[in-house]
Structure 1
Amino acid sequence: MSRQRHVLGLSGGRDSAALAVHMAQTRPDIELEYFFTDTGKELPEVYEYLGRLEGFLGKPIERLNPDRDFDFWLRQYKSFLPSPRTRWCTRQLKIRPFEQWLWPALDDGDEVVSYVAIRSDENYREGYSSTHPNLSVLLPFREEGVDKAGVIDILEASGLGLPSYYEWRSRSGCTFCFFQQKIEWVRLMERHPESFEEAKSYEKNAIEHGSPFTWSQGESLEDLARPERVEQIREEHRKRLERAKAKRVRNPLRSDDSEIDLDELYGQAKVCLACHK
């Protein structure tokens, strides 16, 4: 017999975690299945946070491991790195495993509702477009008017708080995500040097095979890691932060010294929804 299933994808980021908490608290009547598509290249902080979230929800998060990893697909794409213009990593390591997981049930007649954490203040973002007639997508935060501040309130009230990587990085995703700002690459080098070196090796191999892309726009990680360049990136970031603080309109509900996050500082990147929510 066909059945109705409800699924919610987690990225290890704040928005999807807040949606999971929100649904558990406001719609306990819905039997949700939680899943995480694991590329194997995530930050250790992501796995730690997912473990805490499992404890809060009281149920396991299904790990969807792609049957072919990043290295396999890099070879298939002839060592060309993924980029904002060619996001094969999202397609092959996130969307493909999701569809492989659900499509047999959908083809057998199951109806699946997928809940996606697009906030009410993200009108520029679109969710996964269903390509199967039995799969529908709902955006509870957009429908209920939950914005970024609301997401943070949900996580703080639950006791989970934010994933620890938000101390230095703007979002979840692979360690070598090409959407990172240059200051984030510097911080990755400091906090997870082994991941930075792995990214450098991927980039070096890609360049040797004729790839036109580097992880960070306009320069290689080899150049970015030079001490004088690191200091320049730090100084540029410091000046940008000072300018942003000077322009910030005073909010009586927020202290003037409250932190300006990277999205506020550099603008919202049109990142891959499947990875970063």
Structure 2
Amino acid sequence: MSDAEAKHVLGLSGGKDSAALAVYMRQHHPELDIDYFFTDTGKELPEVYEFLGRLEGFLGKSILRLNPDRDFDFWLKQYNNFLPSPQTRWCTRQLKLRPFEQWLKPMLEQGQKVYSYVAIRGDEEYREGYSSKHKNLKIVLPFKDDGIDKPGVHEILESSGLGLPKYYDWRSRSGCTFCFYQQKIEWVRLKEQHPEAFEEAKTYEKNAVENDSPFTWSQGESLDELTEPERVRQIKEDYEKRLERAKAKRQQNPLRDEPDSLDIDELYGQAKGCLACHK
């Protein structure tokens, strides 16, 4: 098939970078008929769905939902009730990448070339978000190529009228409500913002422990331990101290973002989250 018959796809996580890339491609490459897709695990934050709805309004196009044929609970049983973790990220593999591969498989087998646009920014080291051995699948990094950095992403979203997803008020990443890459302050805030989702995460954790899983959602302590009143106080105090230190550093450079716009991960060290979930 010719390049004119190529398929163009852009995956959305519900996060700011992929949303900004969708806006950027719509504004700078309107000639491309891009299929925007979101792989729904069914465990996403409600703010994610609200943001995707607003993004659809801007794009003037529906975002395809690639629902996995097996949900989180199915795969949890397949993995003997062992929770996913940074060491065994089966959730990303089975609930995000697998549906994407199944969607593209017929196109690639028919010889169609597919261009997949990924939101790696110009100020990030390139991390392989999705590598394919298939000769017809090409990964494209527009932000990397055009030098769009984090402030540039914010500017794109603000100028479009979308702004940031609402969960950025209390959390640094999209993805499942019980993502194991959350910082401890984010678990505390999840309990405050979405107590039902927090209780569901606790249930999964207790079942995993009963089945000899070596992992808890948050490294080094259970959610019960993490949300003891004294522990919550410690976590919040630690967060405030880190924020104050970051503010002091940011004030030395007026060209940087305002201190209050710091991502939580910047305060604790950048976590290597899964690109399919968090970009």
Q: Which of 34, 37, 62 does residue 35 from structure 1 map onto?
A: 37
Which residue pairs with 2:175 in the alignment?
A: 173
Q: Aligned match of 1:107 in 106, 109, 123?
A: 109
**Preserved contact between residue 250 and residue 256 of structure 2 (Cα < 8 Å):** no
Q: Which runs of 5+ in 2 are unaligned?
A: none
1:5-154 → structure 2 map (5 Å cutoff):
5-154=7-156
Instruction: Give distance in 1, aligned partners of 2:8 and 2:126.
Output: 25
Deviation at 1:130, TM superposition (A): 1.4
For residues 87 and 71 of structure 1, what CA distance do their matches in structure 2 show? 15
Q: Is 2:270 the partner of 1:262?
A: no
1:67 counterpart letter in structure 2: D
What is the identity, as a one-letter code, of the residue corresponding to 1:16? S
**Native 8 Å contact 1:250 1:256 kept in 2:** no
CA distance in 1, matches of 2:210, 2:260: 45
Cα distance in structure 1, aligned partners of 2:255 and 2:207? 50
Distance 2:171 2:200 in 1: 18
Corresponding pairs, count: 277
Give the letter aligned to residue 124 of structure 2.
E
Q: Deviations over 1:31-51 (max 9, x none)?
A: 100000000000000000000
Q: Deviations over 1:54-109 (max 9, x none)?
A: 00000100000000000000000000000001000000000000000010111011
CA distance change for structure 1 residues 7 and 259 in 2, over 3 Å: closer, same or farther? closer
Q: In structure 2, which of residues 187, 190, 193 is the aligned counterpart of residue 191 of structure 1?
A: 193
What's the offset of the Cα at 1:236? Answer: 1.2
Q: 2:63 & 2:50 partners in 1: Cα distance?
A: 13
| TM-score scaled by length of structure 1 | 0.97
Shift of 1:245: 2.0
In structure 2, how many angstroms separate the alpha carbons of the residues matched to 1:105 and 1:157?
Answer: 35
Moved over 3 A (4+): 253-259
Measure the CA separation in 2 of the matches of 1:175 and 1:28.
Answer: 34
SS of equivalent residue, structure 2 residue 82 = coil
Computed over aligned residues only, the root mean square deviation of the Cα atoms, in angstroms, reads 1.4
Residues in 1 aligned to 2:260 and 2:83: alpha-carbon distance in whole angstroms: 37
CA 1:102–1:255: 2 relative to 1, 3 Å: closer
d(CA) in 1 for partners of 2:116, 2:39: 14
The residue aligned with 1:222 is 224
Look up the SS of the partner of 2:188 in the other structure: helix
Query: Which amino acid is the alignment partner of residue 10 of structure 1?
Result: L
| SS in structure 2 of the partner of residue 34 of structure 1 | strand
| CA apart distance, 1:257 | 5.4
Paired with 2:10 and 2:250, the residues of 1 have a C-alpha distance of 35
1:200 counterpart residue number: 202
Which amino acid is 2:267 matched to?
A: L
Gaps of 5+ in 1: none
The separation in 2 between residues aligned to 1:116 and 1:21, in whole angstroms, is 13
Cα distance in 2 for residues equivalent to 1:181 and 1:5: 37
